[in-house]
């Protein structure tokens, strides 16, 4: 098909304000606004005849040829970095992300060339959440419990990233760590790490 999803993810991170992404990461599911911006970046860069709908047949993003057959399908998922680090939480994270990957793979139309991908974002708050924001920031108390024992929070996130890369490479194929971005919301620094799981093509 001749398009570079990794480049589109990097472009999305470049154009999305860091503090805006941090706000989304703390208050809800950042993959939803990230998906919308990524879809626009893909449409902007698409060659003539390619259209990029969102929520296409229960898939987050699709890239359709002029004859309306799917050339690529893309699912997005986000999680907290500590979900990838704590043994008690790892099985749930793996199962949830793998379900998205399997659903994406299953949506690939048979008997036509179609690429499939999963874009995964890891959210990592770098500061403790003050109690006055517990009703604003999702899982605030849990974030604080995880951060308290760790002095080097950057090392915590890097370890989580290695777990994600290794786990989903073993299960699915190639995982590319694309980029990270640090922003601030409510005076809390937040880093997001983004990966592309390349699921291959069906022809």
The token duo for 156 is 């915590």
Q: Say how many CA atoms lie within 13 Å of 167 toward its Cβ.
A: 20
Contacts of 155 (CB under 8 A, 6+ apart): none
Strand partners, 13: none
> Each residue's pLDDT tens digit in the chain (203 positions)?
556 888 889 999 999 999 999 999 999 989 999 999 999 999 998 888 899 999 988 889 999 998 888 888 899 988 888 787 778 888 888 888 788 777 777 776 666 788 888 898 888 888 899 999 999 998 898 888 877 665 566 676 677 777 877 787 766 667 777 778 889 999 999 988 888 887 766 55
Separation between Cα atoms, residue 188 and residue 18, nearest integer Å: 12
Q: What pLDDT score does 18 carry?
A: 94
Q: What pLDDT score does 126 carry?
A: 87
Separation between Cα atoms, residue 170 and residue 163, nearest integer Å: 11
Helix (H, G, I), strand (E, B) or coil at 184: strand
Distance from chain centroid for Cα 34: 8
| Alpha carbon distances (Å) from 78 to 68, 75, 83, 97, 196 | 29, 11, 11, 8, 12
Separation between Cα atoms, residue 202 and residue 89, nearest integer Å: 32
Q: What pLDDT score does 61 carry?
A: 94
Helix (H, G, I), strand (E, B) or coil at 28: coil
Sign of the CA dihedral running 68, 109, 43, 32: positive
- List the chain domain ranges: 5-202
Tokens 């290794």, residue located: 166
């Amino acid at each position: 098909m001749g398009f570079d999803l990794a480049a589109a993810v990097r472009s999305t991170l470049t154009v999305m304000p860091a503090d805006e992404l941090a706000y989304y990461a703390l208050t809800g599911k950042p993959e939803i606004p990230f998906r919308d911006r990524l879809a626009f970046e893909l449409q902007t860069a698409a060659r003539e005849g390619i259209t990029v709908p969102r929520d296409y047949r229960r898939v987050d993003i699709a890239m359709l040829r002029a004859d309306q057959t799917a050339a690529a399908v893309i699912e997005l998922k986000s999680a907290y970095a500590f979900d990838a680090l704590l043994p008690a939480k790892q099985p749930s994270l793996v199962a949830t992300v793998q379900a998205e990957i399997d659903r994406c793979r299953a949506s690939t139309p048979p008997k036509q060339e179609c690429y499939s991908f999963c874009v995964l974002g890891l959210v990592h708050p770098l500061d403790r959440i003050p109690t006055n924001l517990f009703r604003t920031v999702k899982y605030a108390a849990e974030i604080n419990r995880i951060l308290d024992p760790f002095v080097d929070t950057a090392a915590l996130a890097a370890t989580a990233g290695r777990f994600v890369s290794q786990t989903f490479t073993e299960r699915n194929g190639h995982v590319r760590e694309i980029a990270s971005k640090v922003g601030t919301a409510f005076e809390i620094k937040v880093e997001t790490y983004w990966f592309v799981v390349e699921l291959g093509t069906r022809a």
